Structure 1
Amino acid sequence: MTARDLTASGDDPVVIVGMAVEAPGGIDTPENYWALLSEQREALGPFPTDRGWSLRELFAGSRREGFKQIHDLGGFLSAAAEFDPEFFGISPREAVAMDPQQRVALRLAWRALENSGINPDDLAGHDAGCYVGASALEYGPALTEFSHHSGHLITGTSLGVISGRIAYTLDLAGPAVTVDTSCSSALSAVHLAVQALRSGDCDLALAGGVCVMGSPGYFVEFSKQHALSDDGHCRPYSAHASGTVWAEGAGIFVLQRRSRAVREGRDILADVRASCLNSDGRSVGLTAPSERAQIRLFSRAIAQAGVSPEDVGMVEGHGTGTRLGDRTELHALAATYGAARPGRGPLLGSVKSNIGHTQAAAGALGLAKVLVAAERATIPPTLHADEPSREIDWDSTGLRVAHKLTPWPAHNGERVGAVSAFGMSGTNTHIVVSVPDRPREAK
């Protein structure tokens, strides 16, 4: 049987063999990401004062009629400006002109490969792909401005160059694709990488997402839409959810087919059991979620993964803390994962309660949460949800929000978890992974 036959028959699944994360609160490794989650900490903090943002005008402007007050709280990467251009063969002038999303993504791609035990230099010329989810977030001067950085601004601020920069630096010969489906970008990128590996477009893939805000513009836009949290805290699936809180973060994963990973002696973090993507189509509004689309997505993923709802121990939801978004998602989960017997449904959570909504990177941070939780056989709690939403009958669905550190027992030698990401573009992604039950070894 050939490698392509194995892929087509499903006997050679795609697996995750490495990852790297950065999140608010100084988080820069999977280990201290887990510490943040298990210690039930919230990593939100004041707006950064070193980015040249007019914060006084920002907060004062949100008090105008028709806007919702912007609180001095968000999730920001403390190391967003830290970058060693010489290490990557980039001049300091070009580095400053680069959107920090390029810098963070490049840094994490390198770390993810090291985490997987792969020497990045060994990939030169190989059919390795790179799929990165990102959105344009207003970094740098306009192209029409004559500045010291002119000449580097097109490549420095182009979304397409985020993945291209990684491919160029590492000399990867596979596909290099930047994906923008708004808040589902990172998980959409992982989905495309899985499909590329299954089809043979590449034999290894870097995939994930990045978000670093070049301006506080998203806060202003959501202030006008009255979709920001009342008090600057994100409360997913809570009866007191009042809006979201914007944040920054990044996550990159290394994916291979199982046969190659085993042949090369990789530590397999998870099997990708299902990877599904669809669109809302026409809903009640361009940016409004669709319960019908989410039900179709979840049902297809459960079937593709070959599991039943009670086999899934944890669902890391999109959970933005907005009333409409959470209500729609909860109804869709109740109709699918809630089909389990009462008390047997998965524990539901959202890392946005810890770090805020990391926008294009949200799905990557959600997937990383599932992986670190499964490795430690423990589901971390979702903050601010002690009184869960009244939008569904929790007792009859079997769904529960994780309120405390909860043991995650293995089932048939593995732990099965799922993660969702929904974009205001209407693009929805849902991925199901299984993590083998084994003693945890420090890397």
Structure 2
Amino acid sequence: MAGSVIGGEDPVVIVGMAVEAPGGIDSPRSYWSALAESRELIGPLPRDREWPLARLRALGRTPGWSDIPDAGGFLSTAAEFDPAFFGITPREAIAMDPQQRVAMRVAWRAVEDAGLNPAALDGDGAGCWMGVSVLEYGPRMADVSDHSGFRLTGSALGAVAGRISHSLGLLGPSISVDTTCAGSLTAVHQAAVAIRAGDCDWALAGGICVMGSPGMFIEFSKNNALSSDGHCRPYSADSSGTLWGEGAGVIVLERESRARSLGHRIYGRLLGSRVNHNGKGAPLAVPSTAAQERLIRDALSVAGIPAELVGLVEGHGTGTPVGDPAELAALIKTYGSPTRTDGGAKLGSVKSNIGHAQAASGILGLIKVLLCGAHGHIAPSLWSDNPTEAVDWNATSLRLATKFEPWEPVDGVRYGAVSSFGVIGTNAHAVLAMPVLEEDVDV
């Protein structure tokens, strides 16, 4: 990665990444192929989790409830785990939330992608931050079962980051973050803050979502905010609600000086990030345009660049009738200047491909932006050919990413941004810079 240092004298950079997503995606390479080819990775509700499928599918016939489609974005490898590899007994492994298991596997791959030997890190002072939420796996601790004795560590949210640090032997901060759907982007922000503060020299950060129960489908059925047709259609006039998905993503962060001294490949610079809250006023779960606008402006200020340089915005884009218009209003006020002469920023959401991966959604969007930057192309957002009429598209330069197209750099740099918003009022935003890589992109 050539070019002058952006984002301060010694910015935090991303030097490794790993991902698992629906449709058998298990690497950045396969993830990019799916995005570039506009593939939808949605499948039927899982048949191997003992979910009450008939009851779920009939719920829409109950007054006050909406239909639950036989669809979602599910990890095909959620149940796969090699406990011996990580020094865990089979009895303990089965009592562990699969979010712990998948997170350990993906973190290991991210470390390898950064050019490090995961088996040689014991005693290293690196940190780990992971976004995760409770998704109801296994029996309660209060229930006497064959898994008693392992349910405390098996169900604790803190064990997601803790398992990663334990398996690698990392001695730095190890923190699981639950800001619901803003979890992974909040984790990235906190990891970068810790590196800048000297709490650790490098860190793992990301998020995980594996649904141990159909609870999220039931909750949104009651709230009438669930997709009725089995598709997640961000910013579309055809959207009827969100569709739940799963996934995991982990990145490796460190100072640029350290990356260069160790010869690490640099995917991009984290120019700036911010996390805020909606505050009081509207109900807790209702998004705030004002808070999101304030957040974006603060992140851009920290990044030290004007909004007009940003060419790709990976939005939250859940496809809900309340969330999308509120988010679009904030994005238009910040990134949608009508005076831009470069065609304007492109907007998309990977939820159109994989569904809403909740606590992992932000990191999956961030990795998408990094891959777009590395390959010099913007991947299309599905279902964007009929934009919502909730905003006046003629009054903004912001445009939905409707096709696979070249992403032209500005003075050798591509600038992108990522948003995540949580149902408990937490908002997160990050601004990235990706100087043009060499021709042989190997991601």
Q: CA offsets, 1:370-410, max 9 Å, x none? A: 01111111101111121111122223210000111011011
Is the Cα contact below 8 Å between 2:337 and 2:398 reproduced in 1? no
Aligned match for 1:182, one of 174, 180, 183: 180
Distance 2:395 2:219 in 1: 38
Q: What TM-score does the superposition give when structure 2 sets the normalisation length?
A: 0.96
Q: Write the letter of the residue equivalent to 1:123.
A: L
Matched-pair contact (CA < 8 Å) for 2:375–2:441: no
Match of 2:424 in 1: 425
Per-residue Cα deviation, 1:56-82 (whole angstroms, up to 9, x for no partner): 111112321110000100010000000
Distance 2:329 2:390 in 1: 8
Q: Taking structure 1 as the reference length, what is the TM-score of the superposition?
A: 0.96
Q: Deviations over 1:415-443 (max 9, x none)?
A: 11000000011110000111110223326
Correspondence list, 1:65-84, <5 A: 65-84=63-82
What is the aligned partner in structure 1 of residue 127 from structure 2? 129
Deviation string, structure 1 residues 277-329 (Cα, Å, up to 9, x no partner): 11111142110000110110111112221222221110000000001100001
Determine helix, strand or coil for the equivalent of 1:107: helix
Equivalent position of 1:23 in the other structure: 21
Contact 2:131 2:184 in 1 (8 A): yes
Q: Distance in 2 between matches of 1:380 and 1:167?
A: 34
Paired residue type of 1:53: W
Shift of 1:361: 0.4
The 5 Å alignment of 1:238-387 reads 238-339=236-337, 341-342=339-340, 344-387=343-386
Amino acid at match of 1:79: T
Counterpart for residue 392 of structure 1? 391
For 1:148, the equivalent position in structure 2 comes to: 146
Matching of residues 84-103 of structure 1 within 5 Å: 84-103=82-101
How far apart are the structure 2 equivalents of 1:230 and 1:145? 36
Residue in structure 1 matched with residue 440 of structure 2 by the alignment: 440
Partners of 1:441 and 1:34 in 2: CA distance: 12
Q: CA deviation at 1:239?
A: 1.3
Say what the alpha-carbon RMSD is for the aligned residues. Answer: 1.3
What is the rounded CA distance, in whole Å, between the counterparts of 1:345 and 1:246 in structure 2? 30
Q: Is residue 384–residue 400 contact of structure 2 (8 Å, CA) maintained in 1? A: yes
User: Per-residue deviation at 1:358?
Assistant: 0.2
- Give the structure 2 partner of residue 32 of structure 1: 30
Alignment check: 8 A CA contact 1:62 1:220 kept: no
**1:230-285 residue CA offsets vs partner (Å, 9 max, x unmatched):** 21111101112210000100100000011111110000010001111111111421
Deviation, 1:175, is 0.2
Structure 2, unaligned stretches of length 5 or more?
A: none
User: What SS class does the counterpart of residue 180 from structure 2 fall into?
Assistant: coil
Aligned to 1:3: none
For 1:290 and 1:390, locate their aligned partners in 2 and report how far apart those are by CA, in whole Å: 19
3-state SS of paired residue (1:172): coil
Contact 2:128 2:172 in 1 (8 A): yes
CA contact (8 A) 2:13 2:255 kept: yes
* Residue pair 1:342, 1:395 contacting (<8 A) in 2 also: no
Indicate if the aligned counterparts of 1:375 and 1:440 stay in contact, CA closer than 8 A: no
Q: Does residue 158 of structure 2 align to residue 160 of structure 1?
A: yes
The residue type equivalent to 1:144 in the other structure is A
Q: Does 1:172 align with 2:170?
A: yes
Relative to structure 1, is the Cα distance of residues 417 and 284 closer, same or farther in structure 2, using a 3 angstrom cutoff? same
Q: Which moved more, 1:87-96 or 1:297-306?
A: 297-306
Q: Which runs of 5+ in 1 are unaligned?
A: 1-6
Structure 2 contact 374–441 (Cα < 8 Å) conserved: no
Distance apart, 1:342 and its partner CA: 4.6
For 2:261 and 2:118, locate their aligned partners in 1 and report how far apart those are by CA, in whole Å: 18
**Residue type matched to 2:165 in 1?**
A
Structure 1 residue identity aligned to 2:385 = D
CA–CA separation in structure 1 for the residues paired with 2:191 and 2:231 = 33
Structure-2 separation of matches of 1:204 and 1:105 = 18
2:415 is the counterpart of 1:416: yes
CA contact (8 A) 1:276 1:430 kept: yes
Sequence identity percentage? 56
Corresponding residue number in structure 2 for 1:115: 113
Secondary structure (helix, strand or coil) at the match of 1:208 reads strand
Aligned with 1:307: secondary structure? Answer: coil
**Inter-partner Cα distance in structure 1 for 2:382 and 2:305:** 28
1:219 aligns with 2:217: yes
Aligned counterparts of 1:98 and 1:235: Cα–Cα separation in 2: 33
Further displaced range: 391-400 or 273-282: 391-400
CA distance in 2, matches of 1:236, 1:294: 17
Q: Equivalent of 2:52, from 54, 61, 65? A: 54
> What CA deviation, in whole Å up to 9, does each residue of 1:171-193 have, x standing for no partner?
11100000000000000000000
Given residue 217 of structure 1, which amino acid in structure 2 is its aligned partner? G
Letter in 2 for 1:351: V
Residues 376, 440 of structure 1: 8 Å contact kept: no
Q: Distance in 2 between matches of 1:403 and 1:441?
A: 24
Residue identity in the other structure for 1:62: G
- Structure 1 residues 280-289 or 263-272, which shifts more? 280-289
Structure 2 SS opposite 1:229: coil
